[in-house]
Every structure is written in C-alpha cells, then in structure tokens.
Structure 1
C-alpha cells in the first residue's frame, strides 16, 4: 500500500512493516503520529498476515522459504523506489515486532546509507546469528531499536546483540529499553522515532 505524497514530490520515503497478525493498514495508521513533512509512505502486506511462521529466534531453516520471500518483498520495494530516483539516504525503514525483526534483518543484509531505521521491539533473526549474512557499510545511518523488559517475544539480550553487530557495520545505533512496557508502541517511542526522522 502507498499513501502520502507521490514519490516525485516526496523528500522522504518511509517503508512501514507490520507485525504478525496485523496488516499494512494497521502499521500505516502510525503515520498520523510521525512528524514528517513531504513524505511518501509504503507498507507491504504479508501473506496471511505473517512474514514467517515461527519465532524470530527459531532456527532460520524453520522459517524458510517464508523469510527469504519476505526479505525479497522488501528488497523489491526498495529497488522500485530507487528506480524512481529516490536515493537510499532518503529511504527510512520502520517496523514493529515481527516487522521490526524483518526490517533489521533486511537492513543488515543490505547495509547502505539509509535515511534511518526504526525497529519498535525487534532484533536480528535466527537461533544463532550468521555474521556472514550481514554485508555492507551503514555509513553512520541512525538506527533506533526499542523493546520492553521483559518482552514476551523479543529478549533484551537479542536486542543488545543486534545493536553491537549493527554498530560494527558503522551504524549510529541507539537502544531504548522500557521496564515493564507491554508488547506495544508507546508515545515515548514515537517521540524517539520523530527525533530520528528529523535529524
């Protein structure tokens, strides 16, 4: 789905990736909380409302071929946007929960100077992370990762592990952990996202 300005009129393009059981419509509803002008918004829709069937902490093979298909969906969308003359440094990736995990995994496998990456409750994907999958240089791309402590789906340990890998790939990463926060997106996290979007 696409909303906001047409690509040729946009200064920023924000790709929003929904969580398990949700929809493109639901994640696009967040745009009313994002303080960004002259933006185009895109939100792909997962088949059956899930990007891959099992936990992001399961062995990768258990989530195949769905994970590869989901990563290809994001890759095709990014390439389509670039083909319209939008450089990567004007493209922002944003996801929640399963969508946040997919967003981080895609970015780490395709590191470049993006406008920014926002992962509301997410981490890199796999029972054990395969560092050979992560290629490129973020060239100081700002990346925000948030989570609750504890979170029923995303352990803080994986958030921190992911952040360290992204930092080694030359990203400017900041992590915010909210004690006792339920599995949702709180206003404080949206404020942080707005800071990143307006750097």
Structure 2
C-alpha cells in the first residue's frame, strides 16, 4: 500500500482545531487544489489544509496522478453519457475500494499529527477526488464533519447501505455545462446518498463546465464553517 504525500497549507500560528483534506481529480495532483487553501483559510483561520497526491501515476499523463484507473473500469467513457452514467459509476466501486486504504492511512496520520477528532475533519474533492471522498466518508468508525464534492459522482451506490458505518452531511456542487461528468451525475449521487440516509445538499452552477468557480467556493466555506462551528458548540 503506497504512502501518500502532497502539499500542505498551515496557519501561521499554533491554534489548529480542524483539518480540510483536498482530493484532486484524475490526472492532476495535490498542487491542483492546494491553491484553494488561502481563500478557504481566510474564512477558516484555525484550519490546516492538506492535498495528498493520488497513489498511482496517471495512465494518460506521466505528470499527473490518479486514485484509480478509469481505463480499467470505464474504457468506453460511459461516464460521459447521461444514459450510461449509473453503469459506469457502479463499476468504479472496486477502484475506489482499492485506493481507500492508502487514503485512510494518510487521513489517520494527519488526524494524529494535529490531535483532532474525526468530527473536525472535512474532505473536499474534485471529480475523481469527490468519488473517493464519498466512498471513504461513510465507512468510518466515527463521522467526519462533512464532505464537499465538486464535479464528481457517487460510485458503487448499490453498496452504500450495506457498507455504511456512519453518516455526515454532504454538499455537492456541479456545473450544468460539465461535459466530462454531465450534470446527471449529481442527481444520481444525491439520490443514492438520500436513499442511504445521508443529508445532502446540491448546488448546480449554470454554464459551468468541469471546474470549480467562485460561487462554489463560497458555498463550500460557508458549509464547512457551519459544520466545524456546530462541532465546537457540541463540545462546549
């Protein structure tokens, strides 16, 4: 099982009471999302930010990383057609499952480093990173504060109820002009999560392609600030 590494962004003080872990998309690496950290930190000043590189060299780009192979689980690009997305996402369950061990170890290491409870950790994913975040989050011993998923999908929806060991709130943000993972993906994810008893909110962004925009970032920091604040209130 590979040990993950990647960039980090820490506050310039010792008061860290929460952690956000960014999970990049297929063909990128941790540097792709750690650039969001300064903006997030301006709203979450006592949060540490991490962005691990995926465990595998990307199969289509030696300069990028992947969490799992897409050529193996969706060689026919079924994920890009509304009618066949559900089939594609179901097939990716095995890939996400295989990648989850190294990511879990990384999260456990960061949690121990900062001595924070699981309910002060949030995962923020993009595309394949969202798939990993949604796969890992509901298979924890104790729940995370929340999950933000940009432009992603829920893989292996048929396994969720039987695999689920906890729940946490989810915010899904998706562009209506996404050609890589058309907007139907977020509808499938919301349906699967709701059927699994998970609290999910959806923000659809008009004209947005497979990307993260300013409105989505504002929604994300508002969501995370609320979830971290709720945990602070529960502990007092």
Q: TM-score range by the shorter chain?
A: 0.7 to 0.9
Deviations 1:65-101 (A, max 9, x none): x533421122112222343431111001001111111
- Say whether residues 1:68 and 2:97 are aligned partners: yes
Specify the alignment match of 1:23 in structure 2.
29
In the TM superposition, residue 158 of structure 1 has moved relative to its aligned partner by 3.1
> Residue 156 and residue 130 in structure 1: after superposition, are their counterparts in 2 closer, same or farther (change >3 A)?
farther
Larger helix proportion of the pair: 2
Distance, in Å, in 1 between the alignment partners of 2:109 and 2:35 is 23
> Residue 142 and residue 191 in structure 1: after superposition, are their counterparts in 2 closer, same or farther (change >3 A)?
same
Please tell me whether Structure 1 or Structure 2 has the larger radius of gyration of its CA atoms.
2
Distance, in Å, in 2 between the alignment partners of 1:95 and 1:37 is 20
Distance, in Å, in 2 between the alignment partners of 1:169 and 1:73 is 25
Q: Map residues 179-194 of structure 1 onto 2, 5 A cutoff.
A: 179-194=206-221
Structure 2 residue ranges without an equivalent (≥5): 1-5, 58-64, 80-84, 227-236
TM-score, normalization by structure 2? 0.72
> Residue 133 and residue 153 in structure 1: after superposition, are their counterparts in 2 closer, same or farther (change >3 A)?
farther
- Say whether residues 1:38 and 2:68 are aligned partners: no
TM-score, normalization by structure 1? 0.83
- 2:101 alignment partner, SS class: helix
Q: Count how many residue pairs are aligned between Structure 1 and Structure 2.
A: 195
- Say whether residues 1:100 and 2:108 are aligned partners: no
In the TM superposition, residue 152 of structure 1 has moved relative to its aligned partner by 1.7
Q: Over aligned residues, Cα RMSD in angstroms?
A: 2.7
- Say whether residues 1:3 and 2:19 are aligned partners: no
- Say whether residues 1:117 and 2:125 are aligned partners: no
- 1:130 alignment partner, SS class: helix
Runs of 4+ in 1 over 4 A off after TM superposition: 59-64
